[in-house]
Amino acid sequence: MTTTLSPRASRLGAAASGLLAGAAGVLAGEGFSRLLGVTGPVVAVGNRAVDLTPRPVKEWAIDTFGSSDKLVLLAGVLTTLVVALAAIGWVGARHRTAALGGMTLLVGLAAVSMLLDPAQGGGLPAVLGAVLAMLLVGVGGLAWLLSTLRAPRAEGEGPRRRSVLAAASGVAAVGVAGGTARTLAGQPASSGLSLPDPAQTAEPLPDGVSFDVDGLTPHVTPTADFYRVDTALEVPRVDAENHVLRITGMVDRPLELTVADLLDRPLVERRITLTCVSNEVGGDLLGTATWIGLPVRELLEEAGIQQGADAVRSVSTDGYTAGTPLEVLTDDREALLALGMNGAPLPPEHGYPLRMVTPGLYGYVSATKWLTELEVTRFADFTAYWTDRGYAAKAPIKLSSRIDVPGSFAQLEAGDVTVAGVAWAQTVGIERVEVRVDEGEWQDAELGVEDSDQTWRAWRWVWPAEPGSHRLEVRATDRAGKVQTSRREPIAPDGSTGWHNTTVSVA
């Protein structure tokens, strides 16, 4: 009976060893990270991949995968990891040192990614602890597995299979322990906060603010349907009890406010339509919520703004930054530091416990979530996350409108068809919405009763539809008399333009 495995079997065994030791190492690193409150290796590597991805690729990914873009990225990271680990193990069948070097390199990559991650609340010792765990389990585990695989089997000894199994189970057990620790450590509660009633409630919704038309966007977007856009691979879980907002920079009296401090103040409630610069013509990256919070200007006044400042740089727990004109944060549009959304504390996805909401500016320059700092500064002295990636530093929301119904390629019956949608020109207001069919005369649509100039406005028009294929187009006019342009502009660098149209067929 032969005592050595075939070369093929030993190569496969070595590849499996690479996978097993690597997986256990990753899980150990993940478990430690979660226990110590730092970003784990997988998300940290993913975050670096997001940072390094060129803008066109990012836009293509958002376009192709939509809100699954982050899942696709994580799947990519994990697939690459599996291939790398198997390859490292495979090499280890013959070249043990090279394999251990490869594994060390992978741990090093994770370590650098973790060190560069801005959300490392637990600090350097915690990151180093997690890295050490990965080294021990990943590199140590691989060394152990490879040596049991290669141990020569002397005649008469028990089957080598037994020692291989023992080593494999040992490494697997460490991995399972890491995974279990990760699960059990959980995340800081992100709902503990209880929101007092606002001292100033929102104006009641006016009668006739919207129309009873199937498929027309409701005036207030339910939180569960509210769009979400951010660069975070993993929604930051912020512990509200220990969270502080700092107001720093060109101020007379820097402030440090806990969430409890903020909640002690009289809160106001406002309906505001938030809009993303990435919203394509006809897109749905906008929504209206009832926000509860404090006017940013009151806090800035308390801190005492110094001469020469023209911007506020906002910073998130996840390292995201944005720059907002100081003027916009201090005028009477009343930008908010929001703690609540639609009557409840902000959900984690929308910035718990604290975010900005600024009427009239695209979210990327004005709506920082998981907010930790407002630095009063000058545009000349800083850049922010998206301006570093080619987007404009100043980005007022562009006048726009959308057809919600009928949907694209709808099959309709001849006769009266209700065409309806929304139009927006935050802080200016919508004056008029017109619709035309097959490039005919523009027809005035009926407008919903205006809520305020900070929210979108519903419109509808009854179309006497005749058989055939038809193209409907919409355009809005704002209260300053500006007519929405037909010129098609892309979302970069400061928002799309053009008329939304929809093609339908009438039988």
Ligand X SMILES: Nc1nc2c(c(=O)[nH]1)N[C@H]1C(S)=C(S)[C@@H](COP(=O)(O)O)O[C@H]1N2
Q: Which residues bind Mo ion (CB under 5 A)?
A: 229, 276-277, 363-364
Tokens at residue 196, please?
């007092």
| Residue 484 near which of ligand X, Mo ion, none (CB within 5-8 Å, type-dependent) | none
210, 217, 288, 368: which one binds ligand X (CB under 6 A)? 368
90, 352, 370, 379: which one binds ligand X (CB under 6 A)? 370
Angle between helices 7-36 and 96-116 (to 10 degrees): 20
Number of residues that bind ligand X (CB under 6 A): 19
Q: Which residue's CB is nearer to Mo ion, number 235 or number 309?
A: 235
11, 96, 228, 246: which one binds ligand X (CB under 6 A)? 228
d(CA 350, CA 293) in angstroms, rounded, equals 14
First to last CA, the chain: 81
Do residues 402 and 216 touch, judged by C-beta distance below 8 A? no
30, 117, 230, 431: which one binds ligand X (CB under 6 A)? 230
Do residues 9 and 2 touch, judged by C-beta distance below 8 A? no
Of 145-153, 260-268, 291-299, 363-371, the segment contacting ligand X by CB under 6 A is: 363-371
| Residue 226 near which of Mo ion, ligand X, none (CB within 5-8 Å, type-dependent) | ligand X
Least distance (Å) between residue 353 CB and ligand X: 13
Do residues 304 and 326 touch, judged by C-beta distance below 8 A? no
Of 214-222, 229-237, 408-416, 487-495, the segment contacting ligand X by CB under 6 A is: 229-237
Least distance (Å) between residue 76 CB and ligand X: 20
Contacts of 464 (CB under 8 A, 6+ apart): 415, 416, 417
C-alpha dihedral sign at 363, 364, 366, 371: positive
Least distance (Å) between residue 355 CB and ligand X: 7
Q: Which residue's CB is nearer to ligand X, number 33 or number 316?
A: 316
Task: Give the residue from 306, 304, 297, 201 showing the smallest Cα distance to 250.
Answer: 306
Query: Minimal CB distance to ligand X: which residue?
Result: 363
Site for ligand X in 310-339 (CB under 6 A): 316, 318, 320
C-alpha dihedral sign at 129, 134, 139, 144: positive
Could you tell me whether strands 500-506 and 411-412 are parallel, antiparallel, or unpaired per DSSP bridges?
A: parallel
Of 113-121, 222-230, 248-256, 373-381, the segment contacting ligand X by CB under 6 A is: 222-230
Binding positions for ligand X, rule: CB under 6 A: 226-232, 274, 276, 316, 318, 320, 350, 363-364, 367-370
